[in-house]
Amino acid sequence: MLHYIARRFALSLVTLFVLSLLIFFLGQVLPGNVGRFLLGPDADQQAVEMLNHQLGLDRPLLVQYGTWIWRFVQGDMGESYVYRTPVVAFVSQALLHSLKLAAVAFLIVVPLGIMGGIIAALKVNRPLDRIISLGGLTATVLPEFVTAILLILIFGIWLRWLPISAAWPDGAGALGQLHYLILPAMPLVLVLFGYIARMARAGMIEALDSDYTRTAVLKGLPWRLVIWRHVLRNGLLPTIAVVATQTGYLVGGLLIVETLFRYQGIGSLIFNAARGRDFPMLEASVMVIGVTYAVATLLADLLYSFLNPRIRMVSSR
């Protein structure tokens, strides 16, 4: 088990290293002359060179990458080109906000998706299964801004049930905040529902078809107990893994939803940094997302192997 954890941990580190190279390449190398970029085409050549020197962009690429990643590891994410203040304060604040929104979405979608998958699997190929499967597929493939617009029109404008902005008034309590977060969370819920329900359905069908389920039925165990003890436990395992890997997707969805609902999270931070060409902010926030994703998938894999001993046996051999 320890061996497995170590191996899995090392793999995450390698992935993060490659990711940092990718981000560095996209953020520092592709834009070309950042000084020219920031000052515009009319700026004096000398001023451009001075700014580049100030930002350390005239040093060899390897040195630039080394300093960038070394400082990042120590928690120094550089200084925003736009605000001229350390990026880290913005990023941590935004991450906290996004986690709140993501938590609301997950709290709604995980039970809903799993339940949908279980019902579909128990009624496989019947109308209810078709509705859940096709509905889930449809909800999953629609871009978030499209579902968000439709939800805003229905629940915000026509029915007037929910506020169409996520900016709650100051001093709103947890419930008050929740009221403002439900509509923004819904597009994420819709996209994730299809994935989770599909995984849960597939896992359940496989478990229902298995020999151990047949044995349990044949030895006379009541159907309810068979489902509870044998089918659910085995059938839902893959779903756990999927839920965690969706954190990567979630951030892409957050970017859209947060922009649309004017919510100050990591998504809108990335969006604004991209618009303002604030590369340090952009690189830092994307890297933070990468780290979050790596941690989430690592935890998911560990949880999965903990729940399913077969995997850790195989890998430790």
Partner 1 sequence: MKGATIVLSARRQDVLASLFRSSPFLIGLIIVAFWVICALFGSHIVPYDPYAEDILNALTPPSIEHWFGSDQLGRDIFSRVIVGSRDILTVAPLATILAICVGTVLGLLTGYFRGIVDDLISRLIEAKMAIPSIIIALLAITALGTSKMTVVIIIGLSFGTVVARTVRSAVLSERDLEYVAAAKLRRESAVHIMFIEILPNILSPILVESTVRLGYAIFAVATLSFIGFGLQPPSPDWGLAISTNYAMVSGGYWWTVLFDALAIASLVIGVNLIADGLHGALDD
Find the shortest distance in angstroms from Cβ 132 to partner 1: 14
Q: Which amino acid is at 121?
A: A
Q: Based on CB atoms, which residue is closest to partner 1, 106 or 271?
A: 271
Find the shortest distance in angstroms from Cβ 147 to partner 1: 8
Q: How far apart (Å, rounded) are the C-alpha atoms in residues 48 and 46?
A: 5
Q: Which amino acid is at 54?
A: Q
Q: Which amino acid is at 128?
A: L
Find the shortest distance in angstroms from Cβ 63 to partner 1: 20
Binding region for partner 1 (CB under 8 A): 14-16, 18-19, 22-23, 26-27, 30-31, 134, 137-138, 141-146, 149-150, 152-153, 156-158, 164, 248-249, 251-253, 255-256, 259-260, 270-271, 274-275, 277, 279, 282, 286, 289-290, 293-294
CA angle 175, 178, 183 (to 5 degrees): 150
Q: Based on CB atoms, which residue is closest to partner 1, 27 or 227?
A: 27
Q: Are 255 and 268 in contact (CB under 8 A)?
A: yes
Q: Based on CB atoms, which residue is closest to partner 1, 116 or 236?
A: 116
Find the shortest distance in angstroms from Cβ 239 to partner 1: 19
CB atoms within 10 A of CB 156: 17
Q: Given phi > 0 = left and psi -120 to 50 = alpha, else beta, which region is 267? A: alpha
CA torsion, ordered 215, 218, 223, 229, to nearest 10 deg: -30
Query: What 8-state DSSP symbol labels residue 40?
Result: -
Q: Based on CB atoms, which residue is closest to partner 1, 86 or 252?
A: 252
Find all residues with CB under 8 Å of 49, minimum gap 6, and list them: 35, 58
Find the shortest distance in angstroms from Cβ 294 to partner 1: 6
Q: Based on CB atoms, which residue is closest to partner 1, 179 or 277?
A: 277
